[in-house]
Amino acid sequence: MKSGTKLAAGAFETMTYSVLQPVQRRRRSRSKRPLVLLAVAALVAAGSLAATQHWAFAHGTPHHKQATAMLTPKPVSARTLERLRAVASEQQVAAGAPFAAGTRLLLPAAPRLEHAGLGPITARAAILVDANTGAVLWAKRAHQRRPIASTTKIMTGLLALEHLPPNKVVRVNPLVTRVALNREGLRARERVPVWKLMYGLLLFSGNDDALELAIATAGSKGAFLRLMNEKAVELGLHDTHYTSPSGVVDRGNYSSAHDLAALARYAMAIPRFRAITRTHIAHIKWARPTYAKTYVNKNLLLGTYRGADGVKTGWTTIAGHCLVVSARRGGKSLIAVVLHAPDPYGDARRLLNFGFANS
């Protein structure tokens, strides 16, 4: 056993290589073939780029760097973007303006149906107009200047549509929450799109909607009143003057049946205005904590008189009941206005029936 052990040990010691002896690995020489392939690919790419630039130069195509610079979008500030949207909206409205500048909205000739038989009209002033031609069909004290209550909002809505993009979001001015009734209940500093305020203005007849749209349009109530009176002059409304964007103030805020009919003819030719005023009920989603609002149009002819499609009601103690209505049947379109009327809807129905039967 000892000799075997010694032999084993000697054999172990005299072995040239052992698992415990470090082995020096020989380095393999790396092939230069991949480097050659990369060099060839680079040469091919350079040749292709040179050929492309040569072709572009020969055919008048901009240099690659120039083209890249031209195609790189430049950042636009939110204020600039909002201004561009507003300008675009105004241009669209201007391009689709219902009447050319200087057009007489109502023809100056005597009423065509002045001597035709018509039942009693209780209103102190009234008019019936062919909306297609602008011809006056029947009139009663048409140019008498009278307070017009919330029919003032026809002008307010018209100017808001002409100056504000419908999707523009406005922050409610705290002054708006303190206007006299009627109010829909706008909350101070809440953010509301313009189109939602338009439904509150023309269906619910909110005085807070009127003031907020005025401030959003012109920056202040006073500036908006100047816009209102300038627009009245532009449209040839010589019996009209505004001191309120809502009509809640009677003093100095007046118009005539003639001018309201002319204004209604202009406004109803604008698709957005017409779409709102012909709406009977509108269900509008709202931000928390309100979540939703339902506006019911105060024009009781909608849904009860065939063809009725607008436009605005109004009432104050001094102005009495005021009503501007529009109706269309077939190819005929009529506008009727009654001011300080004890029976506004009866008067409006009689005028419209008379017009459809005789025009």
Give the tens place of pLDDT for each residue, 54-93. 544 444 444 444 433 433 445 556 666 666 555 555 545 5
- Catalytic annotation present for 150: yes
- Average pLDDT for 92-121: 76
The position carrying tokens 């901009």 is: 62
pLDDT at 108: 86
CA dist 64 to 46, 67, 71, 233, Å? 14, 5, 11, 56
Of the residues 89, 140, 153, 244, which is catalytic?
153
- Average pLDDT for 327-353: 97
- Average pLDDT for 252-275: 97
Q: Are 256 and 139 in contact (CB under 8 A)?
A: no
- Average pLDDT for 134-156: 97
pLDDT, tens digit (0-9, with 9 covering 90-100), for 211-245: 999 999 999 999 999 999 999 999 999 999 999 99
The H or E element that residue 217 is part of is helix 207-218
* CATH hierarchy code of domain 101-358: 3.40.710.10
- Catalytic annotation present for 333: no
- Average pLDDT for 1-14: 42
The H or E element that residue 171 is part of is strand 169-171
Is residue 4 over pLDDT 80? no
Is residue 22 over pLDDT 70? no
**pTM recorded for the entire structure:** 0.74
Of the residues 89, 205, 246, 255, which is catalytic?
205
- Catalytic annotation present for 196: no
DSSP at 136: E
Of the residues 89, 150, 256, 333, which is catalytic?
150
The overall average pLDDT reported for the chain is 83
pLDDT at 86: 59
Question: Which of 284, 334, 290 has the alpha carbon at shortest distance from 309?
Answer: 334
DSSP at 219: S
- Average pLDDT for 326-351: 97
Q: Is 82 exposed, middle or buried (0-12, 13-18, 19+ CB in 10 A)?
A: middle
pLDDT at 111: 85
Is residue 308 over pLDDT 50? yes
Choose between 28 and 330: higher pLDDT: 330
